A and B are shown apart, each in its own frame.
Chain A
Amino acid sequence: MSNPVEIRDLTVSYRDKPALWDIDLSIPAGRLVAIIGPNGAGKSTLIKAVLGLAPVVAGTVSIFGAPYAERRRMVGYVPQRSSVDWDFPTHALDVVMMGAYGQLGWVKRPGKTQRELAMRCLEQVGMADLADRQISQLSGGQQQRVFLARALAQDAQLYFMDEPFVGVDAVTERAIVNLLRDLRARGKTVVCVHHDLDSAPEYFDWLALLNVRLIAAGPFEITFTSDNLRKTYGGTMGAAIRHIEHFEEDRRAGPMGLRSEDEVRC
């Protein structure tokens, strides 16, 4: 079977400024992929371009060997939590059911089947007891889990998530990590925009470094190097480089290596 994501010569531009320039990227199946780069690097734009939500100037994207329009039912999407108004008059279960709207098609209303599906998805993110809660009364982490449950209701093979870890509590962060691993164990592919270099190598196993152009892509062991990070962040981000040096130390120390420096600092 073809790769879940196959991007060729992709250029995206808002007005006159290119947001993404000549991207070539193939993402293999069954991976947890982190897209990492500085602000304005085009991370969200990359996801939106794949989903047909950004103005593609040139290039092609194929999903499991076909254009996205023919593969919608195989793809799930978690937008940034801040992209919607959480004071909207609806409850958690209702939002999760929106994940099934695609399968339902036009006009048909969600019924018992969709309600049960949505309930199972809420259970998977540990939110079953809050199904009837008005969404503005959920914490940020709970809102994020509702969005994840909605994507689960899409019952997809490939998931795109835009900054799922931003502004969430520790419980939610654990829940998301477990969910990602569970999805990988079931053979799904997950592509996340991620901003935290510290947690990236722990949560993900495949990396795409992006700064308008694609800097590097591949398994962390190969791509997560200080050289690549310097290219991505333009050397302006000293912190990024320090992260990577820790990572390289860890690798020398073996998979279970302790970071003595960290221990002291904490």
Chain B
Amino acid sequence: MLIELFTDYTLRNVALGSALLGIVSGALGCFAVLRRQGLLGDALAHAALPGICVAFLLTGSKAPLVLLIGAALAGWLATLLLLTVVRETRLSTDSALAIVLSTFFGFGIVLLTFISRSGSANQAGLDKFLFGQAATLVAEDVQTMGLLGAAALLILAALHKEFKLLAFDAEFAASLGFPARGLSVLLTSLIVIAIVIGLQTVGVVLMAAMLVGPAVAARQWTNRLGVMVMLAAVFGAASGVSGALISVSEANTPTGPVIILSLTVIVLGSLFFAPARGLVWDAIRRRQQRAERLSD
């Protein structure tokens, strides 16, 4: 299978696409998690579904770029709506997220049903955006994903210092003259890009896990933000590639759930066994302390 990775057209696209997704969502997810906005990714991903459907209905095209633009616009609209709800009402952020998430997703499902009943010959396959179907990736998709991902990573690398300050102490950042709100919108836009990259591989339902999981696992192993971002990218890529390859070799398994299961293995392993913060070592240390106190 390893050799086929480089020779087989489908396998190569699947591996590249899911690696890209893992790197971009892993790196960006760190900032979402550190700003306690893990659920924001969930709302944005669910919001992408109606965007995809509307883009298809308006253009009749399933070209990846058209659908991705639809998804990005819907995600962006959901973000604006969310920020407005939080600012103008007395609802807490998590309630506002829940409302926006379910409204957009419900609307998306209705549109999806409508499209599949309309009987157009072209409609088959939109439902792959629910749970992802990596086997359908073509070289053109991977190129689009590569360009988007490279752009997001470049911006993230250039503004690493600014995003770090924003995540740690947004008010201090603002007092220094860095526009906290503008940086926050930019970071959210980059997260929308990560979601768009994951649409075909993981799908909208489980996309949030790709943002949160690698970051949570990486945080267990290091106390340095730079290292955390790198590790999260590696964890994301590893779970993406292994999950996608397993799903492709087992005919027609949806890719998203398998990727998330591989990721879960990494997250659980990190939560339990990471040296300084792992639960297992915590328990051992506590036991040793108790033993010492008893022997005193």
Contacts and interface: CB of A to CB of B under 8 A. Distances in A.
Interface in A58-111: 69, 72, 75, 77, 79, 83-85, 88-91, 95, 98, 101-102, 104, 106-110
B34 to A, nearest CB: 6
B175 A89 contact: no
Interface stretch (B13-21, B156-164, B184-192, B235-243): B156-164
A52 interface: yes
A84 to B, nearest CB: 5
B176 A83 contact: no
A52 B175 contact: yes
A75 B173 CA distance: 13
A110 B164 CA distance: 12
A51 interface: yes
A79 B161 contact: no
B223 interface: yes
Given A83-B169, A83-B171, A98-B172, A104 B161 contact: yes
Interface residues of B, number: 26
A102 B224 contact: no
Interface residues on A, range: 20 to 34
A53 B177 CA distance: 10
B162 A106 contact: yes
In this complex, which of A75, A84, A109 has the most chain B Cβ atoms within 10 angstroms of its Cβ?
A84
A235 B158 CA distance: 55
A134 interface: yes
Given A89-B222, A89-B223, A98-B169, 14 more contacts: A51-B174, A53-B171, A75-B175, A77-B175, A83-B169, A88-B34, A88-B225, A89-B224, A90-B225, A98-B172, A101-B165, A102-B176, A107-B158, A109-B160
B57 interface: no
B167 A88 contact: yes
Contact of A91 (B158, B165, B171, B223): B223
Q: Report whether over half of chain B's contact residues are helix, strand or loop; otherwise say mixed.
A: helix
A88 B177 contact: no
B172 A77 contact: yes
A72 B225 contact: no
A162 to B, nearest CB: 10
27 contacts: A51-B174, A52-B174, A52-B175, A53-B174, A69-B177, A72-B176, A72-B177, A77-B172, A79-B169, A79-B171, A83-B169, A85-B36, A85-B168, A88-B168, A89-B34, A90-B168, A90-B223, A90-B225, A95-B168, A98-B165, A98-B168, A98-B172, A101-B173, A104-B161, A108-B161, A109-B161, A134-B223
Interface string A167-179: 0000000000000
B232 to A, nearest CB: 11
Given A89-B222, A89-B224, A84 B168 contact: yes
Interface of B: 34, 36, 158-162, 164-165, 167-169, 171-178, 219, 222-225, 228
Nearest to B219: A89
Given A53-B175, A106-B162, A109-B161, A89 B169 contact: no
A79 to B, nearest CB: 6
The 6 closest A-B pairs by CB, nearest first: A102-B176, A134-B223, A77-B175, A51-B175, A89-B225, A84-B169
Given A83-B171, A84-B169, A101 B176 contact: yes
Of the candidates B169, B173, B174, the one having the most CB atoms from chain A within 10 angstroms of its own CB is B169
B175 A101 contact: no
B171 to A, nearest CB: 6
A102 B162 CA distance: 10
A52 B219 CA distance: 33
A266 B91 CA distance: 50
Contacts of B225: 88-90
Contacts of A98: 165, 168-169, 172
